Amino acid sequence: MWKPQRSIVVRALALSTALSLAPALTAAPTTDPGPGGKDLKVIQLPLRSDAPKTIDPGRGSTTYDNRACSMVYDTLLQYSYLQRDPFVLEPALLTKMPICAEDGVTWTFQLKKGIVFQDNDCFPGGKGRELVAEDVFYSWKRQADDATKAKSWWLYKDTIVGFDAYRDAQNAAAKAGGKFDYDVPVEGMKVIDDHNFQIVLTEPVYRFIWVLAMFQTSVVPREAVEHYGNRFSRNPVGTGPYMLDEWTDLGMSFVRNPTYREEFFPTNLQEGDDAIVAESSKGQRLPIIDRVEYTFYKKDQPMWLRFEEGTLGYTQVPAENYETAFNRRTKKLNSAYKRRGIVAADVPLLDFIFRQFNMQDELVGGYTPEKVALRRAIILATDFDEFNSSFYNDKVIVYDGMIPPGLDGHPNNEEHRAGPEYRGKNIALAKEYLAKAGYPNGEGLPKIDYYVANSANSPEQADLTARQLGEIGIELNVRMMDFSSLIEACDNKKAQFFSFAWSSDYPDAENNLALFYGPNQSPGSNHANYENEEFDRLYEQTRSMEPSAKRTEIYIRMRDMVLDHAAFAGSMARTRSYLIQPWLRNFKPTEQFYNWVKYLDVEESLRE
């Protein structure tokens, strides 16, 4: 017979026993005694906002995918870690930088000898084999295959001779019932021998060199793709410094790759690096840290708290915590953090945050003086400085043009100005232009549709824009939507005036200027639908030029052309603030590339 008393008592006892086991639970240990008793170096790092969706470079596209892939895979070229302003490339899998022939389109590459893929079951005997030239081509060819569902074809489009034709032919064959043949050679991809190969470009396109450092071009082994199939997205097999250990919904962990090639800590320390680089790291073989544990933080506050309690090695400073960490006036770190020895670092981003006009729109588009005047009025009424102080703690760089700070073509004066009338705030002048456009004080001007993508404080930002334009009599109809709807509206040329942000895929202004290149019109990336023959001609000309004073001059001309047409209201580039624990050494934060984990070191004596 059921006796309630006993059952309740039993339950209570069980609970109290369980509760009494609570004390002295420590957080994850920071050192693991490894084989032979040597303490392993372990660090915890955050992945902010989102998690990687795939660790397959052929299917990756976002910065999060980049971070994961960069741990496990190598690209032909990599960024020289300590160099900034400008960024410089150096060989990673290659012995030296690729050599370009006289014709400007034939590039010859030489791979290092003895680079092996990590040990994995997909190889016979479980041992990884040496990386050869064929692997490079295979990795790129699979991105041409529709079955891979790659998002990165745009990197190879119209770049290598015969590659586009190869893609169309093979996909057609696969669709017709055959299969996509990876062994069919591509005209512009020539294997000379196991360690030497050549690539022939369709035209001398300079940006190709940057593409070779992008994670999507990492080298993957065919055996792994065939062995794992779709699951290759979760089971990486690379030549990189780390191997994937675990991947859960909450985080990923990586361990040192014992067969990683010989690579040593860079010797080219720049000015100021002595404070960052630990003495013991100089000349050390990479990677230095044995185990890296990433946690995904969809929300900022837990990440911030974890940094505060000393678990995370570094953190980006969320806007809400900016004033906790920094003094608004001096921009210096607050005393509580200084005492703990925490270091602050500012990372300027290659951002182009702007408001775009649809140049083909009836109301706001067009190249006649009246239309230019209308747009210029809006531009002069927009006050990016107010946005800077209201939403970005004055940490944003407001500049003229579409070329972010740090790149050739950016206006290199203190105010980042290209001319006196390229940005606001100048109400009097704005009103003048508005009158010139035929709408004195806004009379007769219909409401302008302003499309904005939903994000953290986008409603408030949109409100501010509406208020600023309201000052000269222009009325905005703010339409909030999620990002994909905005892209859809742009692709259909429906968005009249919209807020947009572009992060440079590589540190060259060509990436931003491409946004105004005629043939890239919607549904391409030229959402402005800007059409200017001379601009297009100059663009095609500079595509094949190496960085030089001449090229920069042309960039400036192109930039000013677009500015004179008042095609957009811009621009802002954010600066991200990082806080770094005193025990995390060799960290020089950047968001341009993500393979820097191998350089990091931990000074255990400083860790609590």
Residues 579-608 that bind another protein (CB under 8 A): 605-608
Q: Which is nearer to another protein, 242 or 583 (CB)?
A: 583
Determine contact, residues 230/242, Cβ cutoff 8 Å: no
Within positions 334 to 393, which residues make up the interface with another protein, using CB under 8 A?
334-335, 338-340, 389-390
- Residue 11 has a CB neighbour count (10 Å cut-off) of 10
- Figure out which of the listed residues 250, 280, 413, 443 binds another protein, where binding follows CB under 8 A: 250
Query: In 360-434, where do the E strands start and end?
Result: 397-398
Cis ω before 33 (30° cut-off from 0) = no
> Does residue number 401 form part of the binding site for another protein (CB under 8 A)?
no
- Figure out which of the listed residues 245, 323, 475, 540 binds another protein, where binding follows CB under 8 A: 323
Structure tokens at 227: 């062995």
Interhelix angle for 427-436 vs 369-381, to 10°? 160
- Figure out which of the listed residues 54, 110, 239, 526 binds another protein, where binding follows CB under 8 A: 54
Which region, judged by CB under 8 A, interacts with another protein, from 281-289, 295-303, 342-350, 402-410?
295-303
Please state whether beta strands 575-580 and 314-316 pair in parallel, antiparallel, or not at all (unpaired).
Answer: antiparallel
> Does residue number 187 form part of the binding site for another protein (CB under 8 A)?
no
| Calpha distance 71→453 (Å, rounded) | 32
For residues 99-113, one letter each, b for 16 or more C-beta atoms within 10 angstroms of the residue's C-beta and e for the rest, the string is: ebeeeebbbebbbbe
> Does residue number 226 form part of the binding site for another protein (CB under 8 A)?
no
Which region, judged by CB under 8 A, interacts with another protein, from 3-11, 191-199, 369-377, 571-579?
3-11
Neighbour-count burial of 3, counting CB atoms closer than 10 A to its CB (0-12 exposed, 13-18 middle, 19+ buried): exposed
Closest CA to 588 of 153, 80, 124: 80
Closest CA to 568 of 496, 473, 482: 496
Closest CA to 566 of 351, 455, 460, 419: 419
CB of 419 to another protein, least distance (A): 17
Binding residues for another protein, total number by CB under 8 A:
93
> Does residue number 207 form part of the binding site for another protein (CB under 8 A)?
no
CB of 27 to another protein, least distance (A): 5
Within positions 229 to 248, which residues make up the interface with another protein, using CB under 8 A?
230-235, 248
CB of 426 to another protein, least distance (A): 7
Q: Coil, strand, or helix at residue 486?
A: helix
CB of 314 to another protein, least distance (A): 18
- Figure out which of the listed residues 39, 85, 193, 309 binds another protein, where binding follows CB under 8 A: 309
Within positions 124 to 143, which residues make up the interface with another protein, using CB under 8 A?
none
> Does residue number 459 form part of the binding site for another protein (CB under 8 A)?
yes
- Figure out which of the listed residues 330, 420, 446, 533 binds another protein, where binding follows CB under 8 A: 330
In the stretch 251-290, what mask flags binding to another protein with x, by CB under 8 A?
Answer: ----------------------------------------
Structure tokens at 280: 């013991």
> Does residue number 210 form part of the binding site for another protein (CB under 8 A)?
no
- Figure out which of the listed residues 304, 392, 506, 555 binds another protein, where binding follows CB under 8 A: 304
- 299 contact partners, CB below 8 Å, separation of at least 6: none
Given phi > 0 = left and psi -120 to 50 = alpha, else beta, which region is 321?
alpha
Distance of CA 92 to the CA centre of its chain: 20
> Does residue number 523 form part of the binding site for another protein (CB under 8 A)?
yes
Q: Which is nearer to another protein, 101 or 305 (CB)?
A: 305
Q: Which is nearer to another protein, 260 or 400 (CB)?
A: 400
Which region, judged by CB under 8 A, interacts with another protein, from 4-12, 96-104, 357-365, 539-547?
4-12
CB of 113 to another protein, least distance (A): 32
CB of 454 to another protein, least distance (A): 7
- Figure out which of the listed residues 13, 172, 184, 305 binds another protein, where binding follows CB under 8 A: 305
Which region, judged by CB under 8 A, interacts with another protein, from 204-212, 280-288, 316-324, 557-565?
316-324
In the stretch 473-512, what mask flags binding to another protein with x, by CB under 8 A?
Answer: -----xxxxxxxx-xx--x-------------x-------
Q: Which is nearer to another protein, 98 or 318 (CB)?
A: 318
In the stretch 416-455, what mask flags binding to another protein with x, by CB under 8 A?
Answer: ---------xxxx-------------------------x-
Q: Which is nearer to another protein, 191 or 487 (CB)?
A: 487
> Does residue number 108 form part of the binding site for another protein (CB under 8 A)?
no
Long-range CB contact pairs, 267-272, < 8 A, 24+ = 268/80, 268/82, 268/83, 269/82, 270/82, 270/83, 270/84
Closest CA to 422 of 464, 478, 380, 388: 380
CB of 324 to another protein, least distance (A): 5
Closest CA to 368 of 437, 453, 316: 437
| Calpha distance 510→207 (Å, rounded) | 8
Q: Which is nearer to another protein, 2 or 126 (CB)?
A: 2
Determine contact, residues 219/74, Cβ cutoff 8 Å: yes
Interhelix angle for 458-470 vs 369-381, to 10°? 120
Interhelix angle for 533-543 vs 549-564, to 10°? 160
Within positions 76 to 105, which residues make up the interface with another protein, using CB under 8 A?
none
Within positions 13 to 42, which residues make up the interface with another protein, using CB under 8 A?
15, 18-19, 21-28
CB of 229 to another protein, least distance (A): 9
Annotate 211-233 with DSSP letters as a single string.
HTTSGGG----HHHHHHHGGGGG
Given phi > 0 = left and psi -120 to 50 = alpha, else beta, which region is 586?
left
Closest CA to 44 of 294, 241, 317, 298: 294
Phi and psi (nearest 5°) for 39? -70, 130
CB of 383 to another protein, least distance (A): 9
In the stretch 142-181, what mask flags binding to another protein with x, by CB under 8 A?
Answer: ----x--x-xxxx--x------------------------
| Calpha distance 566→416 (Å, rounded) | 17
| Calpha distance 111→80 (Å, rounded) | 18
